[in-house]
A and B are shown apart, each in its own frame.
Chain A
Amino acid sequence: MVSPSIPRCRAAYGADLGRQRLVLVRAERGGTVTTLWNGAAAAAPLQAASAEVAAAGAAGRALLAAALPATDAFARWIETPLVAADKAQKVLPALLDVQLPFPLETCLYAFSQLRPGPAKNFRALACAARRSDIEARLAQLGALGLDPALLTHEGLVLWRQAQAEIPLAPATLRVVAYLGDGRTTLAVGSGAGGGELISLHGIRLGADELAPPDAPAVRQWASRVNQLLRALPAGAEGEAVQWLWCGPGAELAAPLEAALAQGDRVHFKSLAEPALFLARALALAALAGAADGQLRSGDLTHPALLAHIATGHRRAALNLLLAGGALLALALGWQVWLQRTNDSLQAELLARAQELSGKANIQYGTEIATVQAALKQRAAELQPFTAALAPVVARDLAAILAAARKDHVTVEALSYSGTSLIIRGATDDWNRCDPLAAELRLLGFSIELSREEAGADELVRFTLKGTRR
């Protein structure tokens, strides 16, 4: 399974439980981190702090995150030959099963950081732990009154928080070393590719074993660490190695640094408030909604997460319902609006057609034709009125006779009906009727002019025919 969705709260608690010690912190939005407990892991004195955590969790105001020690968990990069994420996810459990030292069915597991690998394959970081170890860890925490909603592989949380607090230079190998009272956890990664985690390791030697001076455990610890580092993929020549110490046993780092193989390129540093680092990292990761490597899953899933998932499903269903409803309403609303607009336009069209045509029954779709026919008939009935207001024949007659007088043309006969004009007349010059013809053209007539040679009286007789539409 991939990283689950976790509720976003205003605060989150982180619990770092060692063999005998407990560190409990509260992180709030805005970056405030408060230490609630840093001491012996005993139920009675913890009562007030655990009650606060339980109350905040019950009210949904906060989440409690705890870590599963690296010594009880398993982490590996799994690579598939597939490049499609969905197909790759399906084969990841089978590939993990091959690598696990115990049957997959007895384990709970999570995949995170799923992404295409460098060789056009698909890779993911698998975290797994035996169900019995998870139940045992939950029981340990439960005995202190703590019921974590998130139980994650501690190495992942350590790596992420170290990255956040001290950014990693590109050509650097980083080892985040957590020294607990009964265990050591190493998160090894490289600055290449923006800071990629390479591997996570757990060693069952902690401050309790490493504290006595010249303890053989120190050599044993250093031997184991060097063995792990030698097994890493070969890095670039001369790559710097940065050690970051944290955990309740971080003050014991000096003899360990001395015991490790050193050189110019190896540097050691302690993270801020190292004893609180893991608890702080857990709380801040939970606050940020990061649940990579969450191993409290399946039937062990915390009720708060189950409720969150159920709420998510309900919200998804509601959103889907609202989206569907909105689409439905939009589509139906559009149809209703369309029908109403169409009806309204049709009613107005019909009413105007009836008013203009004077007809009550007009067939659908014939409104314009009916009105045009009615208005044509009406225009014919009104034609005598418009004609009477504009007496074209009388006006033109006066203009024609005036033009003839001006042009010294004698009109012998004239026939005019508004559209057809015939003038017969005589002039004393062949060209004298041309100006008359020109003036008639200005009145809108199309003119045909025919002339006869002058007779005995020396007059040129002509016939002028004009038509006008």
Chain B
Amino acid sequence: MSSLTPTRLRLGLALAVAAAGGVCALYALGSLSDDLRKLERKTADLATLRRLAADHRGTQQALAPFEALTTKQPPSLTELAAKTLPGITPGFRQREGQGAANGWQARRVEVKVDAPPAALGAFLAAAGAARPPWRLVEIDLVAGVPGPDTVRVTLLLEALEKK
């Protein structure tokens, strides 16, 4: 059996380190595609989150004008009707509202009225110009009822409010 000289020891050690390096390098090469795929997936997820965040920021901006309002209660429809539909008394009925973001509530009111078209237009314009605005959600209109110059309408109006 050959003797264990310092030269052989050094060569043996170097070979062991080289073999370990080779094994580690082979292992790293073998798992390279999996590792890169994992990183790519995470990067793609991050990009998706960034896109979602950007989209969400756009939607979120719709809140700002309402939060900036000094009064967060819409004007009374009765008062608006008194101003725009003189001599006419619409029927009002509260409908079920729904919760909205940041403590706001979407309030809905059904309005039934027989009025001349021009007066009705003025009422809707005043409601839409109010702050917070009344938004027309649905409309049912029958012309010539009860008289030839009037229309019978049922309106569903929605306004946002915060108490």
Which residues in A have some Cβ–Cβ distance to B below 8 Å? 310, 313-314, 316-318, 320-321, 323-328, 330-332, 334-335, 338, 341-342, 345-346, 348-349, 352-353, 356, 367-368, 371-372, 375, 378-379, 381-389, 391, 393-394, 397, 410-418
- How far, in whole Å, are A310 and B8 apart by their CA atoms in the complex? 11
Contact B143 A352 (CB under 8 A): no
- How far, in whole Å, are A382 and B136 apart by their CA atoms in the complex? 17
Contact A368 B48 (CB under 8 A): yes
Contacts of B56 in A (CB 8 A): 356, 375, 378-379
B101 part of interface (Cβ distance < 8 Å): yes
Complex partner residue of A324 from B20, B101, B135, CB under 8 angstroms: B20
Q: Tell me the smallest distance from the CB of B32 to a CB of chain A, in Å.
A: 8
Which residues in B have some Cβ–Cβ distance to A below 8 Å? 7, 10-11, 13-22, 24-25, 27-28, 35, 38-39, 42-43, 45-46, 48-50, 52-53, 55-56, 59-60, 62-63, 65-66, 98-101, 104, 106, 124, 128, 132-133, 135-144, 156, 158-160
Q: Tell me the smallest distance from the CB of A127 to a CB of chain B, in Å.
A: 28
* A393-B136, A412-B142 known; A352-B17 Cβ under 8 A: no
Complex partner residue of B137 from A318, A338, A367, A418, CB under 8 angstroms: A418
Contact B7 A328 (CB under 8 A): no
Contact B15 A320 (CB under 8 A): yes
Return 23 A-B CB contacts under 8 Å, by A number: A317-B10, A321-B14, A327-B24, A327-B25, A331-B21, A331-B28, A341-B39, A342-B38, A342-B42, A352-B49, A352-B53, A367-B49, A368-B45, A368-B49, A371-B52, A375-B55, A383-B100, A384-B104, A386-B59, A387-B135, A393-B139, A411-B141, A413-B143
Contact B42 A321 (CB under 8 A): no
Contacts of B25 in A (CB 8 A): 327-328, 330-331
Contacts of B20 in A (CB 8 A): 324, 328
Contact B142 A413 (CB under 8 A): yes
Contact A384 B46 (CB under 8 A): no
Closest A residue, CB atoms, query B16: A324
Contact B100 A353 (CB under 8 A): no
- How far, in whole Å, are A382 and B56 apart by their CA atoms in the complex? 10
Q: Tell me the smallest distance from the CB of B40 to a CB of chain A, in Å.
A: 10
Contacts of A372 in B (CB 8 A): 52
Contacts of B141 in A (CB 8 A): 411, 413-415
* A324-B19, A342-B39, A345-B39 known; A416-B49 Cβ under 8 A: no
Contacts of A371 in B (CB 8 A): 49, 52
Q: Is the interface of B mostly helix, strand, loop or mixed?
A: helix
Contact B136 A326 (CB under 8 A): no
Contact A356 B53 (CB under 8 A): yes
Counting residue pairs across A and B whose Cβ atoms lie within 8 Å, the total is: 176
Complex partner residue of B7 from A313, A330, A382, CB under 8 angstroms: A313
Question: Nearest 6 A-B pairs (CB), nearest first?
Answer: A327-B21, A324-B18, A331-B24, A324-B17, A320-B14, A381-B101
- How far, in whole Å, are A325 and B22 apart by their CA atoms in the complex? 10
* A384-B160, A385-B63 known; A394-B100 Cβ under 8 A: no
Contacts of B52 in A (CB 8 A): 356, 371-372, 375
- How far, in whole Å, are A280 and B62 apart by their CA atoms in the complex? 97
Q: Tell me the smallest distance from the CB of A334 to a CB of chain B, in Å.
A: 5
Contacts of A394 in B (CB 8 A): 124, 128, 135-136
Complex partner residue of A391 from B10, B19, B39, B133, CB under 8 angstroms: B133
Closest B residue, CB atoms, query A381: B101
Q: Tell me the smallest distance from the CB of B123 to a CB of chain A, in Å.
A: 11
- How far, in whole Å, are A229 and B1 apart by their CA atoms in the complex? 51
Closest B residue, CB atoms, query A351: B49
Contact B138 A317 (CB under 8 A): no
Contact A325 B24 (CB under 8 A): no
Contact B39 A338 (CB under 8 A): yes
Contact A349 B49 (CB under 8 A): yes
- How far, in whole Å, are A416 and B140 apart by their CA atoms in the complex? 7
Contacts of A330 in B (CB 8 A): 21, 25, 28
Closest B residue, CB atoms, query A388: B135
Contact A382 B63 (CB under 8 A): yes
Contact A391 B53 (CB under 8 A): no
Closest B residue, CB atoms, query A330: B25
Contact B45 A349 (CB under 8 A): yes
Contact A323 B24 (CB under 8 A): no
* A331-B28, A356-B49 known; A325-B139 Cβ under 8 A: no
Complex partner residue of B21 from A316, A328, A381, A388, CB under 8 angstroms: A328
Contacts of A385 in B (CB 8 A): 62-63, 66, 100-101, 104, 160
* A317-B14, A327-B21, A416-B139 known; A382-B101 Cβ under 8 A: yes
- How far, in whole Å, are A410 and B48 apart by their CA atoms in the complex? 51
- How far, in whole Å, are A385 and B25 apart by their CA atoms in the complex? 58
Q: Tell me the smallest distance from the CB of B114 to a CB of chain A, in Å.
A: 14
- How far, in whole Å, are A334 and B124 apart by their CA atoms in the complex? 68
Contact A313 B39 (CB under 8 A): no
Contact A415 B140 (CB under 8 A): yes
Contact A393 B46 (CB under 8 A): no
Closest A residue, CB atoms, query B35: A338
Complex partner residue of B46 from A324, A352, A397, A411, CB under 8 angstroms: A352
- How far, in whole Å, are A194 and B112 apart by their CA atoms in the complex? 117
Contact B46 A345 (CB under 8 A): yes
